[in-house]
């Protein structure tokens, strides 16, 4: 009968149909009740060995109920009665053993903090030891008799939140100083002196031993790639709890009742507070690197997309073309975007909605990555998110994840609160007088501080990345970096909506520049690529938008991009004063460029030149001082002719030509106020 009861109430997890999550509550309650019986028997047996009676007096009846309450709490927390957790008796033995140790720790803490010292140590420790032995004996029989087997396959594998790094000497030294400081500060608080009496001089060495042992056990000085601050400080909290628990056991086991509970446990609490404060500074100052960060380099993009399955995507596209299309137009107008009529009109004018099937379109209003992760890869041809991208903590990760969800040739529609739209909203909200006073502070908070190394970390910790202001140039540049191409843009209700088409795999050849100094890829001597250093005058990721700006605005009469929105306000000033060119002195001293020569051009701009001039250009090094300032051409064609004359003259007389152009250029700069527009 017992076997029949067990077999009907315990799911056999080695069958394919059974799932650990579907284990019956009846089974868990059955074993919980059986475990309670084992606990009671163990306590009564030890009481009989100690006093030759099974009768419990009032004092030990209280201890029994304290033990039972502790057992129940530990059982619920560790979930040790969920049998699908075990794939062998060994794993059950380890798990039950840990639970027994936790019971001893927790009950010792209760007794010490409550000042209850009169109970027999044999009764307490012996009861837990007997309980563990009988528990394993009973459960071993059940495992063997009922034929229960936990399964390794099909169990939920916990997400690995950390990756191994190395031991931090800084954390070790700082933590040792903090445990010492906490102990002496509590001694001063208790006795108004930092001098320790004889008993506490010995006690501090015991505390050092506990500190070192728990630190090694929890590995809190090993630097890991943590997902967030909570995961990072968890080992410190665990170590502090273990110190307090082990100290409670030691005090109770060795009857060290002379020690002050405030001195010991108050010191542990103070130590933990000091630890958390110190580690917060350590963590947010950039010493600790985290896993969850944005994808900012070409190497990281390549690693993130190394498992991209292009054949699978092509097959999905073929399936989509074979089925009968139900156009998304009506559903988009009357359901998805009924509260956004202007956006619908923009989409209808920019895209052929009649060729997009309802099942291939999705409209969200979210800044949570989970809502995007759950979508099937390569399953959509139109992805619309009505939530501003400003609230995504890791913007590249968001764009790359959407890139995975849509077909090649599919569209991402989103919106961004740019510098201009944010300013318009701000001045609409306040009067001009108040807005002019407050806007510089608002600009510092939402635009400048997020980009500063240390204060940016504080900003993102407080705001979780929400409401920061992103330039149009940076947003579009990130999209191009992530494999998209802008095919439409429009400001609607003071928010810039964009339509981006997936046209290629993300960039794996060049990484974006983000700091105050940038390294730009240019065509050098013999047509070989080289890198020119400059101070930043454009918004981040602007280098990915050169082709877009050219096709949007073409060139002005000076050969520059017309209405180049990539330039910052301070960048315009830098260019007028040639401050942005100063880092090129590094290229000059390294021999990458000469003193006088044609400008070092990007691949796209170089491609606008005639073939013969391209070949002529690559015969010489680029220069710091271009012939532009000597001839002052007024159109792109004039620039080409100016460079052709200079290069042909340099072929005949290289030294004299450079000498002539150098002094003529500086004469125009100083006396005629020649400037690059």
Q: How does pLDDT run across 91-122, given as a tens digit for each residue?
A: 777 878 888 888 888 888 888 777 777 788 78
pLDDT of 86 over the 70 cut: no
532 beta partners = 520
pLDDT of 32 over the 60 cut: yes
Give mean pLDDT, residues 444-473: 79
Q: Answer for the pair 105, 246: CB distance below 8 angstroms, yes or no.
A: yes
pLDDT of 9 over the 60 cut: no
Angle in degrees, 0-180, between the axes of helices 229-253 and 267-284, rounded to the nearest 10:
160
Same domain membership, residue 202 and residue 65: no
- pLDDT at residue 3, rounded to an integer: 40
pLDDT of 247 over the 90 cut: no
pLDDT of 476 over the 90 cut: yes
Domain limit, last residue, from 260, 284, 308: 284
486 beta partners = 500
Give which of 199, 214, 104, 87 is closest to 154, Cα–Cα.
87
**Structural domain that includes position 498:** 298-418+470-502
Give which of 454, 419, 455, 453 is closest to 439, Cα–Cα.
419
Same domain membership, residue 244 and residue 125: no
Highest mean pLDDT among 9-13, 275-279, 283-287, 552-556: 275-279
Greater pLDDT, 138 or 486? 486
- pLDDT at residue 66, rounded to an integer: 87
Give which of 395, 437, 442 is closest to 414, Cα–Cα.
395
- pLDDT at residue 87, rounded to an integer: 64
Sign for the CA dihedral angle at 73, 74, 78, 84 comes to: negative
215: its two tokens: 């630190």
- pLDDT at residue 519, rounded to an integer: 81
pLDDT of 291 over the 50 cut: no
Name, in order, each residue with C-beta under 8 angstroms of 184's C-beta and a sequence gap of 6 or more: 194, 196
Give mean pLDDT, residues 644-656: 90
51 DSSP 8-state letter? H
Name, in order, each residue with C-beta under 8 angstroms of 600's C-beta and a sequence gap of 6 or more: 522, 523, 524, 530, 532, 593, 622
The mean-pLDDT minimum among 359-368, 454-463, 578-587 falls in 454-463
Same domain membership, residue 169 and residue 53: no
Angle in degrees, 0-180, between the axes of helices 58-78 and 89-114, rounded to the nearest 10:
130
Q: Answer for the pair 420, 414: CB distance below 8 angstroms, yes or no.
A: no
Residue 576 and residue 639: Cα distance in Å, rounded? Answer: 19
425 lies in some domain: no
Greater pLDDT, 190 or 292? 190
Same domain membership, residue 527 and residue 492: no
How far lies 232's CA from each of 161, 162, 236, 657, in Å?
Answer: 10, 9, 8, 63
pLDDT of 622 over the 70 cut: yes
Give which of 140, 27, 17, 133 is closest to 82, Cα–Cα.
27
Report the run of H or E that residue 38 belongs to, with start and end: helix 25-51
Q: Answer for the pair 400, 297: CB distance below 8 angstroms, yes or no.
A: no
Give which of 412, 443, 163, 169 is closest to 293, Cα–Cα.
163
The mean-pLDDT minimum among 50-59, 362-371, 486-495 falls in 50-59
pLDDT of 677 over the 60 cut: no
pLDDT of 342 over the 90 cut: yes
Same domain membership, residue 543 and residue 412: no
454 lies in some domain: no
Residue 365 and residue 389: Cα distance in Å, rounded? Answer: 10
Confidence of residue 326 (pLDDT cuts 50, 70, 90): confident
Phi, psi (deg, nearest 5) at residue 190 = -80, -40
Give mean pLDDT, residues 439-461: 80
- pLDDT at residue 318, rounded to an integer: 55
The domain spanning residue 489 has which CATH number?
Answer: 3.40.50
- Give, rounded to a whole angstrom, the gap between the first and last alpha carbons of the chain: 94
Positions of E strands within 400-448: 406-416
Q: Would strands 164-167 and 222-224 be described as parallel, antiparallel, or unpaired? A: antiparallel
pLDDT of 31 over the 80 cut: no
The mean-pLDDT minimum among 14-23, 277-286, 328-337, 521-530 falls in 14-23
Q: How many CB atoms lie within 10 A of CB 532?
A: 22
369 lies in some domain: yes
Q: How many CB atoms lie within 10 A of CB 201?
A: 10
What is the percent of the chain where pLDDT is above 90? 18
Same domain membership, residue 279 and residue 304: no
546 lies in some domain: yes
DSSP string, 135-180: HHHHHHHHHHHHT----STTSPPPP----EEEE-HHHHHHHHHHHH
611: its two tokens: 């073939």
How many residues in total does the chain contain? 677
Domain limit, last residue, from 78, 111, 146: 146
Q: How much is the mean pLDDT over the chain?
A: 79
How far lies 6's CA from each of 92, 135, 143, 151, in Å?
Answer: 18, 17, 10, 18
Give mean pLDDT, residues 485-508: 88
Same domain membership, residue 311 and residue 401: yes
Give mean pLDDT, residues 114-142: 80
Name, in order, each residue with C-beta under 8 angstroms of 442's C-beta and a sequence gap of 6 or more: 426
442 lies in some domain: no
Same domain membership, residue 199 and residue 111: no
- pLDDT at residue 491, rounded to an integer: 94
The mean-pLDDT minimum among 64-78, 359-373, 662-676 falls in 662-676
Residue with tokens 């849509």: 406
Domain limit, last residue, from 479, 502, 525: 502
Same domain membership, residue 97 and residue 184: no
392 lies in some domain: yes
Confidence of residue 212 (pLDDT cuts 50, 70, 90): confident
Residue 117 and residue 258: Cα distance in Å, rounded? Answer: 11
Give mean pLDDT, residues 196-224: 77
Name, in order, each residue with C-beta under 8 angstroms of 202's C-beta and a sequence gap of 6 or more: none
Same domain membership, residue 208 and residue 342: no
509 DSSP 8-state letter? S
Sign for the CA dihedral angle at 234, 236, 242, 248 comes to: negative
SS3 59: helix
pLDDT of 615 over the 50 cut: yes
151 lies in some domain: no
The mean-pLDDT minimum among 149-163, 247-261, 503-517, 531-545 falls in 149-163
- pLDDT at residue 18, rounded to an integer: 37
Same domain membership, residue 187 and residue 120: no
Residue 484 and residue 505: Cα distance in Å, rounded? Answer: 8
Same domain membership, residue 185 and residue 210: yes
pTM: 0.53
pLDDT of 7 over the 90 cut: no
Give mean pLDDT, residues 161-183: 73
511 lies in some domain: no
Structural domains counted in the chain: 4
Greater pLDDT, 559 or 554? 554
Q: Would strands 496-502 and 517-523 be described as parallel, antiparallel, or unpaired? A: unpaired
The mean-pLDDT minimum among 124-128, 163-167, 502-506, 540-544 falls in 163-167
pLDDT of 19 over the 50 cut: no
């Amino acid at each position: 009968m017992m076997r029949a009861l067990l077999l009907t109430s315990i799911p056999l997890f080695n069958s394919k149909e059974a799932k650990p999550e579907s284990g019956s509550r009846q089974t868990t309650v059955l074993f919980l009740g059986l475990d309670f019986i084992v606990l009671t028997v163990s306590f009564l047996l030890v009481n009989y060995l100690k006093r030759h009676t099974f009768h419990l007096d009032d004092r030990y009846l209280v201890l029994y109920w304290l033990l039972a309450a502790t057992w129940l709490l530990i059982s619920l927390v560790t979930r040790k009665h969920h049998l699908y957790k075990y794939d062998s008796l060994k794993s059950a033995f380890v798990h039950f053993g840990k639970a027994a140790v936790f019971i001893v720790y927790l009950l010792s803490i209760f007794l010490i903090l409550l000042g209850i010292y009169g109970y027999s140590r044999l009764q307490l420790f012996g009861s837990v030891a007997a309980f563990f032995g009988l528990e394993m004996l009973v459960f071993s029989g059940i495992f063997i008799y009922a034929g229960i087997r936990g399964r390794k396959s099909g169990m939920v594998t916990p997400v690995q939140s950390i990756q191994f790094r190395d031991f931090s000497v800084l954390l070790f030294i700082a933590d040792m100083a903090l445990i010492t400081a906490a102990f002496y500060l509590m001694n001063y608080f208790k006795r108004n002196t930092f001098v320790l009496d004889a008993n506490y001089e010995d006690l501090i060495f015991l505390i050092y031993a506990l500190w070192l042992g728990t630190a090694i056990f929890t590995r809190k000085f090993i630097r890991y790639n943590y997902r967030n601050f909570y995961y990072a400080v968890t080992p410190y909290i665990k170590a502090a709890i273990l110190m307090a628990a082990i100290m409670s056991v030691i005090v109770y086991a060795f009857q060290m009742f002379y020690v002050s509970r405030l001195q010991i446990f108050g010191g542990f609490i103070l130590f933990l507070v000091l630890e958390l404060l110190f580690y917060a500074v350590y963590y947010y100052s950039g010493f600790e690197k985290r896993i969850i960060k944005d994808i900012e380099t070409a190497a990281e993009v390549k690693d993130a997309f190394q498992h991209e399955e292009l054949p699978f995507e092509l097959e999905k596209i073929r399936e989509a073309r074979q089925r009968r299309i139900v156009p998304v137009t009506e559903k988009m107008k009357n359901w998805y975007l009924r509260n956004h009529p202007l956006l619908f009109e923009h989409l209808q004018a920019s895209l052929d909605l009649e060729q997009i099937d309802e099942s291939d379109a999705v409209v969200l209003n979210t800044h949570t990555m989970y809502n995007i992760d759950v979508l099937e890869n390569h399953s959509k041809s139109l992805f619309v998110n009505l939530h501003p991208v400003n609230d995504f903590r890791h913007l590249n990760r968001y764009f790359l994840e959407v890139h995975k969800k849509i077909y090649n040739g599919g569209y991402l529609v989103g919106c961004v609160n740019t510098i201009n739209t944010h300013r318009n909203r701000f001045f609409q909200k306040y009067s001009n007088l108040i807005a002019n006073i407050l806007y510089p502070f608002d600009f510092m908070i939402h635009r400048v501080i997020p980009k500063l190394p240390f204060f940016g970390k504080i900003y993102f910790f407080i705001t979780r990345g929400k409401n920061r202001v992103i330039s149009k140039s940076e947003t579009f540049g990130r999209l191009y970096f992530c494999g998209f191409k802008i095919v439409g843009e429009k400001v609607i209700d003071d928010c810039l909506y964009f339509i981006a088409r997936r046209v290629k795999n993300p960039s794996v050849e060049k990484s974006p520049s983000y700091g105050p100094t940038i390294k730009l890829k240019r065509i050098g001597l013999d047509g070989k690529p080289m890198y020119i250093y400059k101070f930043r005058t454009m918004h981040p990721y602007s280098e990915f938008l050169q082709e877009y700006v050219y096709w949007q605005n073409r060139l002005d009469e000076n050969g520059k991009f017309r209405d180049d929105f990539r330039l910052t306000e301070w960048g315009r000033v830098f260019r007028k004063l040639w401050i942005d060119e100063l880092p090129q002195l590094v290229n000059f001293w390294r021999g990458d460029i000469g003193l006088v020569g044609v400008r070092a051009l990007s691949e796209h701009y170089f491609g606008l030149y005639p073939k013969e001039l391209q070949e002529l250009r690559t015969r010489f090094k680029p220069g710091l001082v271009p012939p532009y300032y000597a001839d002052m051409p007024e159109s792109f064609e004039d620039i080409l002719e100016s460079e052709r004359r200079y290069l042909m003259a340099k072929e005949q007389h290289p030294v004299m030509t450079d000498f002539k152009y150098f002094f003529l250029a500086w004469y125009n700069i100083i006396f005629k106020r020649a400037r690059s527009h």
